[in-house]
Structure 1
Amino acid sequence: MEYTVETGRMPIFDDEGEIQVQVFYHYYKVKSAARRPLIFSFNGGPGSPSLWLHLGTMGPRRVKMQADGNMPQPPFELVDNPHHWLKFGDLVFIDPVGTGFSRAKDEKTSEKFWSVKGDIESVGEFIRLFLVRKERWASPLYLAGESYGTTRATGLSGYLIERGVSFSGLILVSSVLSFQTLRFNKGNDLPYAVYLPTYTATAHYHGKISGDLQELIGQAREFAFGDYWLALAKGANLTGEERYRIRARLSALTGLSEDYLERCDLRPDIWKFCKELCRDEMRSVGRLDSRFKGIDATNRGVDEGPEHDPSMSLLMGPYTAMYNHYARTECGYETDLEYCVFKGIKKPWDWGSAGEGHPDTSEAMRKAMSRNPYMGVFVASGYYDLATPFFATEYTVSHLDLDESLRGNIEIKEYEAGHMMYIHEGSLEKLAREVGDFVSRTRGK
């Protein structure tokens, strides 16, 4: 397939016409007489550029990893990606302010965009300008986000529809729309329930429990919002007999000992689970992808969290090196700027009015779907994702308060991989095929 790729920085102006930021992008276009879909893509963090989706699944070139997604021995290399998304749409990869090569005129200006609101407004303005300058207003439009990028995408769907931009679909990879499902705060028992099926899948993968994976996940789903949820709700009123029964069942589904679960008050958070599951092997398991194990400096003690996330550590080197090679060598983008992966955001993210509670952009998506009943939503989740668990996503979708006529617009697909399910070769092909089918169904005439 012949295509062109354009790299550059789009200036965004303030009300006085002065440049505030320069947003870096890659634009892939296939010459065609047909009206091709246009897919805007970004990753999450907040603070991550778009290299993961770009060189992991969507673009025509990808970072070569081992078949299971593990890190190969350096030096790293790029290979052709036979499952690229150019087959069904033109692609725009966006690096939000402070990530990648995107820069504001100064740090004080940057801080305006390091917030839920400022981030949505700046990316929204980039999309508007792009549609104007590239004359793509008549194209079927899509947003593809991963992790916090799904928070951004759903927020954008509500923000932009009020400004005349309607999307044919949202593609949400490893979603977090309601942060209540992820934050193990005092008094918030919801994460303990929605994380449970991922704990079960992880324990099964590492041989800590046995049985059929799908049957075990089904049992964990049922227990999570059945007896376990009732036990969590009872708090200190849980009787001794009930506690014994819940503890034994929780141990059978997580692979954690009953003694450890008792010390956790039946509430193992993600960091405790990552540290404890394979402690007997002197290993911790990954947060982004719990299939991977890491070596910690202290695995014999009682410290409650892993030293690092092995699944992130295994990806950071290959993707950073190969993106820098690709942008400069294959795309011809010349700059001495550092390509910032996570470290470009130099202050805490401003969560706005949600900072005291739980940020949530699911309502923005519901409003966008209500105003544009043709918009489809494709949701992809990995069984081994402890950053944005699949059952948490199912919970959020089932609590959208969406009109019954629109519920069929959302489809959820799950993969036997982690947060970046596409690093697993089998899931890479499956994801591309299922997203391609989704775009074909929702693009219109």
Structure 2
Amino acid sequence: MQRVRYIPQDDPSCGWFHTSKKRDVKPSLTGDINAKWVIVGAGFTGLSIARRLAEHYPQDEIVLVEAQEVGFGPAGRNAGFAIDLPHDIGAEDYIGDLEIAGKTLKLNVLGQTILKDLVEKYQIDCQMSASGKYQAAVSSSGLKVLEAYQKGLDRMRQPYEVIDGEDLPYHLGTSFYKKALFTPGTILLQPSALVKGVADTLPDNVTLYENTAITGFQYGKKITLEHASGLITADQMILANNAFGMHFGYLKNSMLPVFLYASLTRELTVSELDLLGGKSIWGVIPADPFGSTVRKTADNRILIRNSFSFNPTGQPNAKKLESFIKRHEESFKRRFPILEDVNFEFNWSGSLGLSQNHKGFFGQLASNIYGAICCNGLGVTRGTATGALIADFIAGQNHELIPFLLETSGPNKLPMEPFLSMGVNARLWWGQRQAGLES
């Protein structure tokens, strides 16, 4: 039995988790079980795999294991943007190759469609809103990014609206930004509420075990996974645990567990909402990748998300979180000086599984092991879509995006330590420093 070195242990104060509806948590696994299928990780990808796999194999028992509570981990800690458009930060116009961009758009829209259908079918209360997104800039470098992205959107023939600074307060309630590109295809949502709702509507032949961390594994004709009080023996395994997949014997040293930090205010009062103005729901992503993501939510809170750290173990760093709260306060005050009495109610961190070449893994790792991991920060849409498609692939179903995913799959190998941490930390430090007012 080989050991899993690190398991997910996120910090306790995620605002999305605590402000979403409480649910009956599924019991943790006790003792030994046998199953045809085992899926590791119940985020957007794992839940999507389980649902589609259950449709393909309705007579099979499918086991889905989650190390923490559903909605408490990374799937419930993102900024709540289900983005349709590609955003290739390695390309001059943020679009790059048109064929790849077009298929990426189809993949993201597929993820959106799956989630919209589930929310409508099961009436999941997750504040889902087709509000679009604003990509906004305040610095000269940020404005250049918007100009480049605008040209890329023109090449893709995608709709957008250019909004100048004097008009932005009518949209966002702040005069902080100088310009924004509004694109209508993004969906805003409460991520923890959504993932909880998806988990509670799984097919009958899927058994979800929460708070069940896998601590060891053994591979062969059968898959054997160890947990705290027993073993899971399965014919087939699918990894959907993002950067933690590196600890399961495959894709070693290929993903970067990078943490982003967020703060969520208390609910604004009626008078504060009147003072703020702007639309009732909106979301801003920064022109500079190291800038601040900002949202006004359906329950009248404001989210600030910025600051990065590289945590090689994939586990949170309490000191980093504490140090970044002040940066969030400063970012909030710059944007909303009229809300001087509004404080943050929640502060948290959440991990991204990133690769150096911006590629995830999709496909077969061994004769009875598959993976759909490393979403590079697009877990809501890409994770949902690739989860469904890996199940189709396993079942021998055709889909135009499966060859695309197989052909473009594979994070590259990373440098060894200590050079990896030195390089990543230097890049994060420099990027955040260069972001300036965008942060």
Question: Is the structural similarity TM-score above 0.5?
Answer: no
Greater RCO, 1 or 2 (C-alpha within 8 Å, sep 6+): 2
Q: Report the structure, 1 or 2, having the larger helix content.
A: 1
Larger strand percent: 2
TM-score (normalised: structure 2): 0.26
